[in-house]
Structure 1
Amino acid sequence: METQQARLMDGTDLARRITETSAAAAEDIRRRAEVSPCLATVLVGEDPASVTYVRMKQARCAKAGIRSRHVPLPASVSTSGLVETVTALSEDPDVHGILLQHPVGAHIDERAAFEAIAPEKDVDGVTMHSFAAMGFGLPGFVSCTPGGIMRLLDEYDVDLTGKHAVVVGRSPILGKPVGMLLLGRDATVTYCHSRTVGLPAIVREADVLVAAVGRPRFINGADIKPGAVVIDAGYNPGNVGDVDFETARHRASLITPVPGGVGPMTIAVLLEQTVDAAARRLIRP
């Protein structure tokens, strides 16, 4: 039986420090430009989880000295109506960042809505422009959860050069971009998903594992390579991640808890990028 106990990667503390730095930067912008950074949140419908998440982001904005403008839309809104709303925010000089809370409803073309966000205001990193920038290693806004994952890896001095990183998940705002960011740091990246044949064998080869498939305890801890770094980006009902934490913690060297790992980092990066977007517009155009 394994006796090793993984070190926990504390996203809560790191997120707090990032937010404190963002708050100081927001105050500097307010002092120099006499304008506070502003994040616009767009919410379609009244999904309880989405409502809670948006409120949490608004509360964190307030603590960081970031203004928030909430735009609620009915669940029945059309794609054209949503695109029109997002386009208006993109053209509004008083708005520096835009967050379109997803999912937006099966009847809406979510990609069309995302693409209505101006690249300089895409602080959630969801547009094709931002994805291309991540892929090419060019300046731009990263997808917030992948960006938070990279900050955690840096915080714990994880050297990615030459390491085999396995990403389980292929969503356009998490799985795909985090693989691009890992590749940009000289890791060798394997993409997997829920339909990958022989997934446990591939997981066993991972020096760094990113679980982002959205299924509770989908990855068994017994399949974790001893000493691997495990990033659990899943969040399922009951505060359960995509990795079986209790078994994985006896195999991994580093592991993110759920909650308290990746989750807080997502919002911290969102706030940081909102402040940066405001600075680019107001301080260093």
Structure 2
Amino acid sequence: MNLTQELEIIKQQEYRLAAGQDLMELTHAILDQLGSTDAYLRDSLGYSTLANWLYKQDEYSLEQLREILQRVLGVWNEGIGEKESDGVFLRSFASLVVALVLLQDNKTPFLTEEEFRTILARTVAYCQQERDFRGFVEPGGWAHAAAHVADVVDECVKHRLTGEAECELLWQGLRALIRNADFVYGAEEDERITNALLAMIDSGKVPLAKLCAWLEAEECAGESYHKSFTLRINWKHLVRSLEFRLRVHNLAGDCEDRLFGLLQKFASHYA
């Protein structure tokens, strides 16, 4: 029986292991496939199984969680800087596993301050160095590196050790996801980035006025017309997403005029 068949059976059994199956042996087998171009194995079976075991069912001990974390941190940067290579699947799905570990730590704290600060620094560096921002790839399925690392940023923002200074560092990572993209995002990456920004505001860790100032400082000038065009549209989509979510959550406060000003700043010249 191959791994796909094993995981299909485990999924049918609501992610319960059969007698004789070893949790960590299967976990490492799944981690071995994080970079697979088989979307069904990597995503529908592998990642879904890890998510259930790690967060929903609390299957892992603290020692095992650290083992998983160290494993994915060890491969997180493999091939970073490449564009349109299959290496993006490994990096992007490593991001999702890092986010799962942080999600668990935010629920039941176990990471030390040193461990968290290492993750925070690695997260910002990853955002600044990643260059493959494709969304859904044929035939490999979801790459979605920007969205997946934005999930890591979101969990970092929510962490007990994160304050305004850490949020500012994380903002540097998020802005890099916008500034380094060579095309207009089309797979709701703006929504995933907005999740992290909204968490900064909702938690009270960053005043909305300060976030507005960060956005107001951004420019759309690029080295070419196409780059400037791409920057403006990606910033516009992000601000639209943020402004809408702030209104939904009644968090816009006295910054509504500034948010409208940002929408105008990044609006089409033909509007």
TM-score, normalization: structure 1? 0.29
TM-score, normalization: structure 2? 0.30
Task: Return the structure number with greater strand share.
Answer: 1
Higher RCO by CA contacts (8 Å cutoff, separation 6 or greater): 1
